[in-house]
Structure 1
């Protein structure tokens, strides 16, 4: 009888059939996490594979589908579950691990974050909005000194679905006891250009905040590699001027 080759045997039995020195978990324990490839790290999160597919092979499929770890971290759960074998607990484990990593990279919530200018606000927002597969709308509520009081995610979805209601933003600003507001959203398409609907939305929000003494500092659009600021472009001044002449 013809013997099964070692490579076929390893594939049929999964990672457990690999030489111990090649198994991701054993390599991590011996050499440290930094020695592992992206696929090996993801494989450890998955723990086991599925029939005829090892955890490492599953990890490679995931990375091939999304292109990078960063893209995996930004993918919605529904997209992760499109990968063969990545359902239920496995998808939840991976999504949770990616979210933990994302949150670790964010500024500590206990720090007093000052967002007095566009550069500071844009840098802060890029860490939260860049690379996401869907449009996210966030509002930053600040005190008179420009210190961040609350960072609120208000809407997620397609371009039409992600537009938050003005009254919701006003209510959240009052709850936070804010003096100033910075609006922000991302463009998953990559271009950080303000659309006509972005301008109309900003005008409406300015008009709603002004009568109750709240200042709209800026509306920042985050693209894949660039940022657009209503304040820096002069559009915020135009909106303010138009508001004083109404």
Structure 2
């Protein structure tokens, strides 16, 4: 059935305007972004098919450009709009976290770090630099590696901490495999960085590992002391 024949309050765009974006399903949200369907398929059916094909909303939005553009109904213009939306979301979270008066919510920090790292196809390591009141100063990805490893250089972490005049920081890295469980190398590296940074009076508050689902806090899991 053509979407124009649906009741007005069931059409994704009208539903969003009347009841807010939170009530829409993943397929309905994607349908709003796509705007139109293809011959024989309305936009909601098109969106549902794309989510099934790629395995979900995140997988679709982070898929290779060639794979997305090979799908009927998704041309270069729509692909560019989807990528712009992703970047707007990341920058919105970036500005939100940097305007925060203090990091009072560990969940908000983990959500922010996930938005910064989860889309990375290879392992990366970053730092969220904080002042003496734990207000964000800057976030940086310092090292990039392969699918399962990134080489970490403590001297560079110390140098960037001094550059930002940080009093504390939160370490983070991603596991592209999706498994957030830290390796022994992760634990040893974190303890080594804590000792090195303590020599310049910079505290390591946590090390967050980003994978599928909720990011893991090494402090909350008892792997390191905060």
The normalised TM-score by structure 2 is 0.69
Hey, what does 1:65 align to over in structure 2?
A: 53
1:215 and 2:215 matched: no
1:108: Cα distance to partner? 4.8
Using the TM superposition, give the Cα deviation of residue 220 of structure 1 relative to its aligned residue in structure 2, in angstroms: 2.6
Which residue does 2:29 correspond to in 1? 41
Q: Displacement of 1:59 after TM fit?
A: 1.4
Whole-angstrom distance in 2 between the partners of 1:36 and 1:236: 41
Q: Structure 1 CA distance, aligned partners of 2:16 and 2:225?
A: 54
Alignment of 1:7-26 (within 5 A): 18-19=4-5, 21=7, 24=11
Query: How many angstroms does 1:60 deviate by?
Result: 1.4
Residue 183 of structure 1 is matched in structure 2 by: 171
Paired with 1:30 and 1:212, the residues of 2 have a C-alpha distance of 52
Larger radius of gyration: 1
State the secondary structure of the residue aligned to 1:233.
coil
Unmatched tracts of structure 2, length 5 or more: none
The equivalent of 2:113 in structure 1 is 128
Give SS of 2:158's match: helix
Q: Quote the offset at 1:200 in angstroms.
A: 3.7
Q: Once the two structures are superposed, what CA deviation does each residue of 1:93-124 show, in whole Å capped at 9, x if it has no partner?
A: 11222443465567453221236xxxx44541
Instruction: Provide closer, same or farther for how the CA distance between residues 28 and 123 of structure 1 changes in structure 2, counting only shifts above 3 A.
Output: closer
Question: Unaligned stretches of 5+ in structure 1?
Answer: 1-6, 238-246
Counterpart in 1 of 2:68? 81
Shift of 1:127: 3.9
Root mean square deviation of aligned Cα:
3.9
Matched residue count: 217
Residue 143, structure 1, aligned to residue 131, structure 2:
yes
